[in-house]
Structure 1
């Protein structure tokens, strides 16, 4: 041993490590450069293969090779260097770089901030180290070969240090549960080994499958690198990765485990799989937080940990921060208009992240499964495209709505259209009343965990009063029963009782009431019935924030915006719903109304034509298209009327011939009324002098003249008179026939 010469006045001795046993400094300053390892470079598979996530997103298969230009340093930043007892060590001083190994000057414990295992080192007489791969949150990660398994490649993740063998043995036994984990999105842990490190003492290593790929952190860095053109990070890919990560978290949470250290660095993108790695922080969900592994910027607050401990919601908080980090570095994706910055799908994504990372524990997603359902809804919204690419929505938090919110635009004109003594009637655009919408919006599905869930599933009632009678027989106190009462009272126009039932539901929820979106939904319904459209919109927006992947809140917000005169917002919401689900015909009719308000007759018909043949509202859309093509529209000036063109009328006649009306009868009552409506407007067009181009036929007559159309309209009115059930209505229709009949000499 020799005397220390590094620091003036030091009386320490240089020990075998080359460091002074008193000041802890090495006798020669270490070089500024430390070991570095190459990051992989990703390229698309030459076969252009892909793999499908959630039956929605096709991700390319990637191949990985060692990069030459991008490397990762294998040391620890100085600000993160602390000894085992928490004292700062290895810091720069007087222009000299900090030590990467040595002894703490205060407590004399050894430290080292370089990989502890050299190539060739054998761990547990089985795993031969090949090289260091990276630095994890708790220790170094090494590539090794398993001598007992044909030298297959494995990864060694250092996680545990202990000063005595008993403590290490207990820790190893505690972490054996990792070997029982088996999920396609979690790296497989196959063993737990120990190795006696000369500096830090006995060290535990999780032995995992070696994955060929790159972390999401590396992927987002590569996506910004112009030299890696095959790597992209569009929003739909981010959500696809998120879906796979949530599946892994859900698997852990259902087994009473927490991951604790979710971040982009701890998720691997392999050729055709997403894998959660670095299981060093996995722990049992026992409500504690001592020794919790986590990363700055991804962990919940210290106050929350002290109050509630680590929970699945803290895992989901870190996952939300992970999504936000990936989103900040996203790249444009091809053919995903829903991912444009101003698209509603992007707003829905932001709300998804906002709920996951809400500062209030109660407002966050409670389970990974719950968040996954909303994430998939947002993903469908972003991927929504052309009519022929739409798919029906799977089961959501709402039951399908049977009522079409069209205010009668999709039905044949009733007979009283002609018996109220009005001429030149302008087409009603079909905006339903707020009360009709409140009763016609989708109904939330009952909570399966509600104490009365079984009884509610068995209840069938033909009307609201019958429903109330049956709900009165349910013995349990139940939030869902009170919400059912609320809706039934609204249907009976008993707003006071509806409000009382909603208040009772809030009382049963107690402290959870503020965070329960069902209460906000029903408050909005109450406000709609009272025609308080602005207040209802605020409540629906709260629901949207809580369940951003659902369609129903957007449909409700679209109607509120339409009623408030905000046509741009209404169109944005309606279009988002309609592009996503072709069976949401109420959204199609909403868009058609907005087109009609802009006197865009062709645009309204084009939207109505998108309602698919399998939809229960397909016939209503076809009838509405005939009415739109053959009706007077309110013009852009007061009292102005926009008449259809002869082309519109010809198309209306052609479409009328294809409608299945009156059970298939050729001259049924509904067909007679539509024919009369077309002939009325045709007469107006002929009077205006714009009748050139009408195609002669059964509706217009041949030859096509004003006199000929008057004769046909006379017949129509007399046919309608035969449908009248009251004498006064019959007289009105006969008078109409006489008024329009061409004059004759006798």
Structure 2
């Protein structure tokens, strides 16, 4: 396989005013590529419409002529909005010329030299470029010369030009054309030839060149990981354009959402949605044990255990190439034991092993899950080192075994492979939160929540981070963003009441405004039973009682939950009644006695 990296010696260009094929009047020669001069001309048959003529610099070079003929045959059959249109092939003085639309606008090279592109603009251009490449690849063609010079921007549209290096997929004989560093290395070409991954590599190099992003730019980390995967070694690179395009769109969505705060939800093609809420009780009324085991006014942590997160995170969609995927899509069971029974009768495959591993994790059997993952890795063979699904499931197992730091490393590997997906960021947010890295946790949670309001686990995680920083109002504001249509809207409303009325860990007690707001929210909150309402009401009344003891009667506004007026005696009467109501929820004689003692202790003293 030969290489052609240096431009040839120049031939002769057409002169201004020269008439080509009796139709195209040359205006100027404005560029020269590796195999052709590029002229701007006027089409006399179309009212002077400007067109571009591309000829040969080496008209007697057999290889160049062959390439030009190939390019003309291919391009005249192509039709895509992001590919320059070739509509004629003419001869003049024994030389062939391609006649194409004149795309009026700067190349991305010119744009780069005049200040560069923002991350969002570069990714928006990449979506169009990859769309064009996907079209070519589906026609069995490789572009092979992607670089900023060959992409013209006109308004919001970009178009690929200069198809002199185009070749058929699988062609191992033609001369290799391309421009370092966009062209892949000789070792890859020798081992694999030019493939779709070579075009992907070139897009990655170009994106890296077009954008100068700082650490504080929205989505900068995801963008860097996207570029890194496009440019990495052959085996870890995006396998095809659709795979990269999914991640480009995901990162672009993240960048735009972080910039303007407007959600742009989109269903993932990689991870299934999870209905689980990663929360340890903040979304529920306090349990009766909050009063029967000593009791504390401090709000609970709300952070779920790592094992609960392991079974509550989203899971990857089954690989469509796996032979058992069609059957797995039909397998349903109400509990992990019965799911494992059904999976046992399926023929072995990587996806069956992954499904079995997750079922064992849900059943609390980590050793069996590890055995299934080992089987999946054996089935994958050498691909196990490059398949992010392996890292994802290893991360779930590490969480289940409380190895959170190791899980974070594994999820980080998944993030490198799928930078546009919310799921690995959600997992990394939890790991950072558990490892006492609040700033990192908040960054990951926010990148998920700002894009899609249906990832309520991210909202709860972000609220917990704000709570531990003593930012009560910020935590409530985040929970208020949970949409009405969400399955967890009710839990978010309950959590907001608890946060407003609770004593933050290491922080201040609620203010009069906080307590009044909690009472007002509780009044309008639709709950699933009298017992739930009673536990929440008792929490709010306790906070109000402590506040009145410190600040006196009249310090809080009246209302149905706190009474009218709000006084020490009135709150004592309400709390006594609330504790006695809670005692009727007791399951043991000891719990009942503790709650009656609380009622007696708070009862207003009488002179009689």
Contact 1:721 / 1:733 at 8 angstroms: preserved in 2? yes
1:644 is the counterpart of 2:528: no
The equivalent position to 2:415 in structure 1, one of 544, 547, 561, is 544
Q: Secondary structure at the match of 1:655?
A: helix
Residues 1:124 and 1:306: Cα distance change in structure 2 (over 3 Å): farther
Once the two structures are TM-superposed, the CA of residue 415 in structure 1 deviates from its matched residue by 2.2
Find the counterpart in structure 2 of residue 391 from structure 1: 264
The equivalent position to 1:186 in structure 2, one of 70, 83, 92, is 83
Greater Cα radius of gyration, structure 1 or 2: 1
Q: d(CA) in 2 for partners of 1:643 and 1:165?
A: 85
Alignment of 1:284-433 (within 5 A): 284-288=168-172, 290-328=174-212, 341-343=215-217, 345-358=219-232, 360-385=233-258, 389-420=262-293, 422-433=294-305
Alignment of 1:609-648 (within 5 A): 609-635=480-506, 642-648=508-514
Once the two structures are TM-superposed, the CA of residue 682 in structure 1 deviates from its matched residue by 2.1
Once the two structures are TM-superposed, the CA of residue 716 in structure 1 deviates from its matched residue by 0.4
The equivalent position to 2:151 in structure 1, one of 259, 267, 276, is 267
Q: d(CA) in 1 for partners of 2:178 and 2:61?
A: 25
Q: d(CA) in 2 for partners of 1:744 and 1:553?
A: 61
Q: d(CA) in 2 for partners of 1:257 and 1:554?
A: 36
Once the two structures are TM-superposed, the CA of residue 182 in structure 1 deviates from its matched residue by 0.7
Q: d(CA) in 2 for partners of 1:234 and 1:216?
A: 12
121-130 or 318-327, which deviates more: 121-130
| Residue-by-residue CA offset, 1:490-549 (whole Å, 9 max, x unaligned) | 111111111111111112222221111100001111111111111111111111111111
The equivalent position to 2:37 in structure 1, one of 115, 128, 140, is 140
583-592 or 285-294, which deviates more: 285-294
Q: d(CA) in 2 for partners of 1:344 and 1:482?
A: 38
Contact 1:257 / 1:282 at 8 angstroms: preserved in 2? yes
Once the two structures are TM-superposed, the CA of residue 708 in structure 1 deviates from its matched residue by 2.0
| Residue-by-residue CA offset, 1:170-205 (whole Å, 9 max, x unaligned) | 962675122111101001122334445xxxxx6443
Once the two structures are TM-superposed, the CA of residue 119 in structure 1 deviates from its matched residue by 2.6
Once the two structures are TM-superposed, the CA of residue 147 in structure 1 deviates from its matched residue by 5.5
Contact 1:157 / 1:280 at 8 angstroms: preserved in 2? no
Q: Secondary structure at the match of 1:449?
A: coil
Residues 1:445 and 1:690: Cα distance change in structure 2 (over 3 Å): farther
Q: Secondary structure at the match of 1:143?
A: strand
Once the two structures are TM-superposed, the CA of residue 454 in structure 1 deviates from its matched residue by 1.1
Aligned residues: CA RMSD: 2.4
1:156 is the counterpart of 2:53: yes
The equivalent position to 2:561 in structure 1, one of 694, 699, 710, is 699
1:209 is the counterpart of 2:96: no
Q: Which has the higher strand share?
A: 1
Alignment of 1:46-65 (within 5 A): none
Find the counterpart in structure 2 of residue 524 from structure 1: 395
Q: d(CA) in 1 for partners of 2:277 and 2:402?
A: 19
Once the two structures are TM-superposed, the CA of residue 379 in structure 1 deviates from its matched residue by 0.8
Structure 2 unaligned regions, length at least 5: none
Residues 1:462 and 1:732: Cα distance change in structure 2 (over 3 Å): same
Once the two structures are TM-superposed, the CA of residue 245 in structure 1 deviates from its matched residue by 0.4
Q: Secondary structure at the match of 1:648?
A: helix
Q: Secondary structure at the match of 2:40?
A: strand
Q: What is the aligned residue count?
A: 604
Once the two structures are TM-superposed, the CA of residue 168 in structure 1 deviates from its matched residue by 4.6
Q: d(CA) in 2 for partners of 1:424 and 1:495?
A: 35
Once the two structures are TM-superposed, the CA of residue 461 in structure 1 deviates from its matched residue by 1.6
Contact 1:160 / 1:203 at 8 angstroms: preserved in 2? no
Once the two structures are TM-superposed, the CA of residue 678 in structure 1 deviates from its matched residue by 1.4
1:438 is the counterpart of 2:310: yes
Once the two structures are TM-superposed, the CA of residue 646 in structure 1 deviates from its matched residue by 1.6
Find the counterpart in structure 1 of residue 370 from structure 2: 499
Once the two structures are TM-superposed, the CA of residue 625 in structure 1 deviates from its matched residue by 0.8
State the TM-score, normalized to the length of structure 2.
Answer: 0.93
Find the counterpart in structure 2 of residue 469 from structure 1: 341
Alignment of 1:38-187 (within 5 A): 113=10, 115-124=12-21, 126-146=23-43, 152-159=49-56, 161=58, 163=60, 168=65, 172=69, 175-187=72-84
| Residue-by-residue CA offset, 1:78-100 (whole Å, 9 max, x unaligned) | x96655xxxxxxxxxxxxxxxxx
Once the two structures are TM-superposed, the CA of residue 255 in structure 1 deviates from its matched residue by 1.2
Once the two structures are TM-superposed, the CA of residue 681 in structure 1 deviates from its matched residue by 2.2
Q: Secondary structure at the match of 1:362?
A: coil
Q: d(CA) in 2 for partners of 1:455 and 1:283?
A: 39
State the TM-score, normalized to the length of structure 1.
Answer: 0.77
Contact 2:123 / 2:248 at 8 angstroms: preserved in 1? yes
Once the two structures are TM-superposed, the CA of residue 734 in structure 1 deviates from its matched residue by 2.0
Q: Runs of 4 or more off by more than 6 Å in structure 1?
A: 164-167
The equivalent position to 2:549 in structure 1, one of 687, 703, 709, is 687
The equivalent position to 2:330 in structure 1, one of 442, 446, 458, is 458
Contact 1:195 / 1:204 at 8 angstroms: preserved in 2? yes
Once the two structures are TM-superposed, the CA of residue 598 in structure 1 deviates from its matched residue by 1.6
Residues 1:634 and 1:271: Cα distance change in structure 2 (over 3 Å): closer
The equivalent position to 1:220 in structure 2, one of 76, 87, 112, is 112
Structure 1 unaligned regions, length at least 5: 1-78, 84-112, 197-201, 225-231, 329-338, 637-641
Find the counterpart in structure 2 of residue 65 from structure 1: none
Q: Which has the higher contact order (CA 8 A, sep 6+)?
A: 2
Q: Secondary structure at the match of 1:363?
A: coil
Residues 1:739 and 1:272: Cα distance change in structure 2 (over 3 Å): closer
Contact 1:181 / 1:188 at 8 angstroms: preserved in 2? yes
Contact 1:160 / 1:204 at 8 angstroms: preserved in 2? no
Q: d(CA) in 1 for partners of 2:66 and 2:471?
A: 77
Residues 1:326 and 1:118: Cα distance change in structure 2 (over 3 Å): same
Q: Which has the higher helix share?
A: 2
Contact 1:381 / 1:576 at 8 angstroms: preserved in 2? yes
| Residue-by-residue CA offset, 1:329-350 (whole Å, 9 max, x unaligned) | xxxxxxxxxx764245011111
Q: d(CA) in 2 for partners of 1:356 and 1:698?
A: 61
Contact 2:262 / 2:451 at 8 angstroms: preserved in 1? no
Residues 1:121 and 1:430: Cα distance change in structure 2 (over 3 Å): same
